[in-house]
Structure 1
Amino acid sequence: MSGMCSERVVVVTGAGRGLGRAHALAFAAEGARVVVNDLGVGPDGAGSAAGPAQQVVEEIRALGGQAVADGGDIATTSGAASVVATALDAFGRLDTLVNNAGFLRDRMLVNLEEDDWDAVIRVHLKGHFLPLKHAAAHWRAEDRAGRTPRARVINTSSGAGLLGSVGQGNYAAAKAGIVGLTLVAAAELGRYGVQVNAIAPAARTRMTERIFAGSMAAPGEGAFDGMAPENVSPLVVWLGSTACAGVTGRVFEAEAGRITVMEGWRPGPTADAGTRRTPSEAGAAALGLLAGSEPPGAVYGAR
């Protein structure tokens, strides 16, 4: 390995399994010291266990790396503060935050309970905001003390948040919100030496196995496993390093060997009448503009 993240201290939330585990191991392989944050909950957020986080820590240590476990609930103020404190206490600094933790409670909108909405918005969206807030406060203080950081944040969105996904209204809304949060954070925190980007990964994890049942199975021995979580991690490691200087406020799709720069909302066809329209005139103008516009991407699961 190149040692791209040598001496950097990296926090990865939801790092006990799946994508988070792959990211933690990849950062460690590039020389980073890693805080492995995970509550050890089930795929729907139920329960908790310290085992998954500690197991990843032991994997990293067995390979000669440095890591500590953190069991803070990053969707609470105290838990988010604790994961930053864990990095500072264990390693004396914080350079990169990877917001990754999450779970699913999928339902069609008419069957989606308020508790399932609140739980998914809480873990994904609030669980991105609070660690970001506490890490940013630390980096701002460092900058004001004359120690401008070269800090990095990688947020985890989803194709569901970019295009929508049938049966995942809560998850899609949260992941779309993460993109908005990423853009704002990149604009606000650049003055303190912080770059903020997002990824929209596709990989085989506990969260996706029910959605893509049968289409994401591991290949035969020796074949390239396109849906392995480890395929996403190289981009995350690069975004978490100093090698990506100047890259901020961007969203990348990552799947197998493919990386795509996603281009979000921007003005398309427009028409200005110079005065107030009637409803019929507004409708005619809208239809004319739609005829000359790019059609939206298909919503996942739509027929």
Structure 2
Amino acid sequence: MTIRFDGRVAIVTGAGNGLGRAHALGLASRGARVVVNDFGGARDGSGGSLTPAQAVVEEIKKAGGEAIADGADVSNYEQVKAMVERATKQWGAVDLLCANAGILRDKSFGKMEPADFEKVLAVHLVGTFYCCKAVWDGMRERNYGRIVLTTSSSGLYGNFGQANYGAAKSGMIGLMNVLAEEGRKYNVRANIISPTAATRMTEELLPPQALGLMKPESITPAVEFLLSEDAPTRTIMGAGAGSFALIKIIESEGINLPEAEWTPDAVAAHFAEIADMSKAKALEGAFQQTQKYVGQAAARAGVKL
């Protein structure tokens, strides 16, 4: 089976460089009409220019594809709405969204200024929300939409100096989970990618021999799969250097303690049992956790639910 996007309209944010550029070129090569969005700022989010986005549009057009450049700042909702309206006016709809735009303002937590925390959340998390919000109603009305957000191992697992970035990136997982749940009956599928690649964001962190293996193009196949007609939903994929993985948040089976043992001392005494991962599962929704705990309590109390 060959995955194609003929007749589909895609918005890729942060598409002037790195991962976004690779995604935009990849989608266009498989038939999508692409809005190449890039604010064109520096890595810390300062400045702004349409030149990077326009250069990618020219690449797409030279290869026979269709694309337009857009310089919307994703942290400005009015600009994001205008971008979606422009794409809809030109091509009739927005079917696919790859929310990839981001900035870095790395500092250890003790040295991080509130403004640096707020700005990174504004671009990554709030900006992703704005993009999803701007396309959501149209996708629901047409009963078709594919959304891919961009998380990071810094959010999933932690990384020194990235409290702002890590918080934003883990927040996106919560957003994706809810979008997948609410979009299910409208054929709107939401997924998230955790990429690692040689980009402006990572060039100072890795040795040259590692960077040579980590081409941005190695991430794009996973993004295209998650944006495809037969994509899953509520899926976290890891990708980098040609490796692809499925990531799940899992919870141990846990134990239920009688009311007499609702003490920190009892939790400490039973912690090895609590932390036993041999029967761990990935839960499919918030209420599933509630049902599990209530079920365990009912079983202890001999109560039939």
Task: Say whether the fold is shared (TM-score over 0.5).
Answer: yes
Given the superposition, is the C-alpha separation of residues 9 and 270 from structure 1 closer, same or farther in structure 2, using an over 3 Å criterion?
same
Q: Structure 2 CA distance, aligned partners of 1:196 and 1:173?
A: 20
What code does the residue aligned with 2:270 have? A
- Per the alignment, residue 210 of structure 1 pairs with 204
- Deviation at residue 89 of structure 1 after TM alignment: 1.7
- Per the alignment, residue 222 of structure 1 pairs with none
3-state SS of paired residue (1:10): strand
Structure with greater contact order relative to length (CA < 8 Å, sep ≥ 6):
1
- Per the alignment, residue 299 of structure 2 pairs with none
3-state SS of paired residue (1:216): helix
Instruction: Kindly indicate whether residue 148 of structure 2 is the aligned counterpart of residue 148 of structure 1.
Output: no
Is the contact made by 1:70 and 1:86 (CA closer than 8 Å) also made in structure 2?
A: no
Q: Structure 1 CA distance, aligned partners of 2:208 and 2:226?
A: 31
How is 1:38-117 mapped onto 2 (pairs within 5 angstroms)? 38-117=38-117
Instruction: Kindly indicate whether residue 240 of structure 2 is the aligned counterpart of residue 255 of structure 1.
Output: yes
- Per the alignment, residue 135 of structure 2 pairs with 135
- Per the alignment, residue 282 of structure 2 pairs with none
Instruction: Kindly indicate whether residue 224 of structure 2 is the aligned counterpart of residue 229 of structure 1.
Output: no
Q: Which has the higher helix share?
A: 2
Q: Structure 1 CA distance, aligned partners of 2:126 and 2:147?
A: 15
How is 1:114-129 mapped onto 2 (pairs within 5 angstroms)? 114-129=114-129
Q: Structure 1 CA distance, aligned partners of 2:268 and 2:211?
A: 47
- Deviation at residue 203 of structure 1 after TM alignment: 0.4
Is the contact made by 2:255 and 2:273 (CA closer than 8 Å) also made in structure 1?
A: no
Q: Structure 2 CA distance, aligned partners of 1:7 and 1:212?
A: 39
3-state SS of paired residue (1:200): strand
RMSD: 1.7
- Deviation at residue 282 of structure 1 after TM alignment: 2.5
Is the contact made by 2:197 and 2:211 (CA closer than 8 Å) also made in structure 1?
A: no
Instruction: Kindly indicate whether residue 265 of structure 2 is the aligned counterpart of residue 280 of structure 1.
Output: yes
Say which is worse superposed, 197-206 or 81-90, in terms of deviation: 81-90
- Per the alignment, residue 170 of structure 1 pairs with 164
3-state SS of paired residue (1:259): strand
- Deviation at residue 79 of structure 1 after TM alignment: 1.6
Q: Structure 2 CA distance, aligned partners of 1:85 and 1:91?
A: 10
TM-score, length-normalised on structure 1? 0.87
Is the contact made by 2:33 and 2:66 (CA closer than 8 Å) also made in structure 1?
A: yes
Task: Give identity over the alignment, percent.
Answer: 40
How is 1:181-192 mapped onto 2 (pairs within 5 angstroms)? 181-192=175-186
Is the contact made by 1:153 and 1:196 (CA closer than 8 Å) also made in structure 2?
A: yes
Larger Rg: 2
